[in-house]
Amino acid sequence: MTTTPSPVQGLHHVTVIASHPQHNIDFYSVTLGQRLVKVTVNFDDPGTYHFYYGDEVGTPGTIMTHFPWPHAKRGTRGNGEVVATAYRMPERSAPYWQARLEDAGFTVQHATRFGAATLTVEDPDGTLVDLIADQDVQAPHPWPNGPVPTEHMLGGFHSVTAWVDDVRSIRALLVGQLGFTEVGHEPDAAAGGTRYRFRGAGAQVGLYVDAVERPGQSAGRSGAGTIHHVALRTRDDAEQAAYMAQLRAAGYAATPVQDRQYFHSIYFRDASGVLFEIATDAPGFPDDEPVEQLGGTLKLPAWFESKRHLIERHVPRIVNREYHTEIGGAQ
């Protein structure tokens, strides 16, 4: 007998393809003030890094992950993929963030999205990052040693934006299968379409998936600066198994469970082309190192420890400016 899962809480993490590892660290940890909560390798390609940024402990709904491939060619944004990730910004902090980003050399675009002030910037690889004014903004576990003053700290994710040719399939997935609620739509002149908003069942952080319908527009091309997939949040393995059974019964080709060390994952692609993941909250990032030491050294899963020496020599040297430590051997 198949158990019907409860509605999805919202966003778990977003995974992005990047290029220069140090530029990536400097933007997300120094400029945006996110904590680098884990430095590990791509489990499917252990010669490359996998960085995780989030709040102090890497709470689901705050986690941005990156595959920094130094020689990756720049990708192209387009239909069939998630194209932007939005952080929650305190309502009065827009002037602070505009000045901070411009002082760091980035160009800031302004918009209003469902009535909320929105700043948009491209990270060093061209990935769109939005800062959306919100009320009661505080990360579940604020990072006290970050470079951003407490009153201006970003509070985890607000939403992601997917571009699609037709909104019907993603609506059928989010509302019909995963328990999201459709909360509204409005024109999006910048994207050239109509923006639809869907809300997860959780509270506080990472609640929204936006889909901008852009009929007839070109599809995206994977590469540096593009978002590989978005992960939605589930509480535990049992609930994830129920989602997997339900999705497969509905015709989605959900993968078997993958062990990602800090969470367990299944993947599937919506008919719109967007790649989704459903990830468990547990075991979490403090599973293999104390909270006060998160991100300070290269962590490897047990099955790669015998190759640590080779991996450390192969991955590029990076500087963790939070700990003033260096990782990796190649220049």
Q: Is the pLDDT of residue 322 over 90?
A: no
36 burial (CB, 10 Å; 0-12 / 13-18 / 19+) is buried
Alpha-carbon separation of residue 130 from 13, 166, 302, 314 (angstroms): 15, 23, 36, 34
pLDDT at position 176: 96
pLDDT, one tens digit per residue, over 14-55 is 999 999 999 999 999 999 999 999 999 998 889 899 999 999
List CB contacts of 11: < 8 A, sequence separation 6 or more: 60, 61, 157, 159, 160, 200, 205, 206, 207, 208, 209, 230, 231, 232, 233
Residue 248 has pLDDT above 50, yes or no: yes
Name which of 73-77, 123-127, 322-326 the model is least confident about: 322-326
**What per-residue confidence (pLDDT) applies to 45?**
87
Q: Can you give the pTM of this predicted structure?
A: 0.96
Mean pLDDT of the region 303-311: 94
Give tens-digit pLDDT for 116-175.
Answer: 999 999 999 999 999 999 988 888 999 999 999 999 999 999 999 999 999 999 999 999
* pLDDT on residue 2: 53
4 falls within a domain: no
Assess whether pLDDT exceeds 90 at residue 329: no
- The answer to whether the Cα torsion of 250, 255, 257, 262 is positive or negative is negative
Q: What is the CATH number of the domain that holds 205?
A: 3.10.180.10
How many domains, in total, are found in the chain? 1
In whole angstroms, what is the distance from residue 273 CA to residue 162 CA? Answer: 10
Q: Is 1 part of a structural domain of the chain?
A: no
Query: Is the previous residue joined to 46 through a cis bond, with omega within 30 degrees of 0?
Result: no
Does the residue 25 lie in any domain? yes
Does 190 reside within a domain? yes
Give the model's confidence band at 330: pLDDT under 50 very low, under 70 low, under 90 confident, else very high. low
The share of the chain scoring above pLDDT 70, in percent, equals 98
Give the position of tokens 């940890």: 29
The mean of the pLDDT values for the chain is: 95
The reply to whether 248 falls in a domain is yes
Asked if 241 and 101 touch (Cβ cutoff 8 Å), the reply is: no
Question: Does 253 map to a domain?
Answer: yes
In a domain, 5, yes or no: no
CA distances from 258 to 16, 137, 243, 279, 301 (A): 18, 33, 14, 9, 13
pLDDT at 331 over 50: no
pLDDT value for 44: 85
- The Cα-based distances of 228 to 18, 232, 283 in angstroms read 10, 14, 23
Residue 231 domain boundaries: 10-327
- Average pLDDT of the segment spanning 91-113: 97
pLDDT (tens digit per residue) in 185-232: 999 999 999 999 999 999 889 999 999 999 999 999 999 999 999 999
Distances (CA, A) of 271 to 182, 241, 252: 18, 21, 9
Tokens of 216: 């007839």
Residue 305 included in any domain: yes
d(CA 210, CA 228): 16
